[in-house]
Amino acid sequence: MTELPARRLLLVHAHPDDESINNGATMARYAAEGAHVTLVTCTLGERGEVIPPELRHLTGAALGEHRLRELADALAGLGVTDFRLLGGAGRYADSGMMGIPDNDDPGCFWQADVDEAAASLAEVVLEVRPQVVVAYDDNGGYGHPDHIQAHRVALRAVERAADAGWTVPKVYLNRVPRSVAEAAFDRLRQELPGLPFARSAAVSDVPGVVDDELITTEIDGAAYAAAKAAAMRAHATQIEVAPDERHFALSNELAQPLFTTEYYQLVRGETGRPPGRDGEAGGSPETGGNRETDLFAGIEEGV
């Protein structure tokens, strides 16, 4: 068997572009540090709304093929070389936003059998043997059916892999602390006149915002801010990145902050928080007091 790298990270996302928005800086950092980073994307995003007028002729399968090329460009910029489409190209179609007729398409991901999809993902888990898996929360961050299904499939795949011999030491959910989101939007509203967007989004538009005390881990991606912005820009059908590379908008044309520190909630496994005074969990005020600053914290070498 091929020897596995010492650190292995697997991320599960619903559509092309989700990985760059949620985890671009994290992926770039760990790839640069020599970790094996695996991305599993569940659909090609065939029902996404296209921003540039010159590309709006792309729909259905043609849009999916185009978005796959965008994803390849984004991952190349992030330094990620291990990419999988769940079940193979075209196995699961984009379900569209919640509550539309497309949700009833028998070929869409929302209608997929969770155990069947999880079996495909578990095969990847057993091959890669990641110490860390990153997924959405049970609402998919913001209620999109494909994101909700990706959460279900990811956690079920972790269970199936454990039954087959590989227990993932740590499972995280994508998160944003409420105080960080609120402060970022306060700054955004002040800077909005200098941005190419007419209006600001709201904190409620950001997926995965939760109270600060639920955040267990933050990854400083400042050194990879340009890589994240470039990866997001590669998804040109879905994202418009401002020239300052600190803001972006989706097809709704509402400005959002581009976060280069990325946040997580540990939901399975033991935290590896830095020691504080008298051996208690600690850390600096800049890292939320007692948050981890490494997704692999506490994992023994060789696991």
Separation CA 231–CA 296 (nearest Å): 24
The phi and psi torsions of 33 (rounded to 5 degrees) equal -85, 0
C-beta of residue 82 within 8 angstroms of C-beta of residue 129:
no
DSSP secondary structure, 223-251, as one string: GGHHHHHHHHHH-TTT-EE-TTSSEEE-T
Residues of each annotated binding site: 15, 18, 147
Torsion of CA 282, 301, 8, 19, to 10 degrees: 10
- The string of pLDDT tens digits covering residues 215-266 is 999 999 999 999 999 999 999 999 999 999 999 999 999 999 999 999 999 9
- The string of pLDDT tens digits covering residues 8-33 is 999 999 999 999 999 999 999 999 99
Residues of each annotated binding site for Zn(2+): 15, 18, 147
- The string of pLDDT tens digits covering residues 86-107 is 999 889 999 999 999 999 999 9
Please tell me the pTM assigned to this model. 0.94
Tell which residue, 126, 119, 128, has the closest CA to residue 165: 126
Q: Is residue 287 scored above 70 in pLDDT?
A: no
Pairing outcome for strands 199-200 and 254-257: parallel
Question: Can you read off the two tokens belonging to residue 53?
Answer: 């007028």
Q: How confident is the model at residue 301 (pLDDT cuts 50, 70, 90)?
A: low
Return the sign of the alpha-carbon dihedral for residues 30, 34, 39, 45: positive
DSSP code, position 45: -
The 8 Å CB, 24+ separation contacts for 191-196 are 191/247, 192/255, 194/244, 195/242, 195/244, 195/247, 195/255, 196/240, 196/242, 196/243
Question: Can you read off the two tokens belonging to residue 260?
Answer: 């280069």
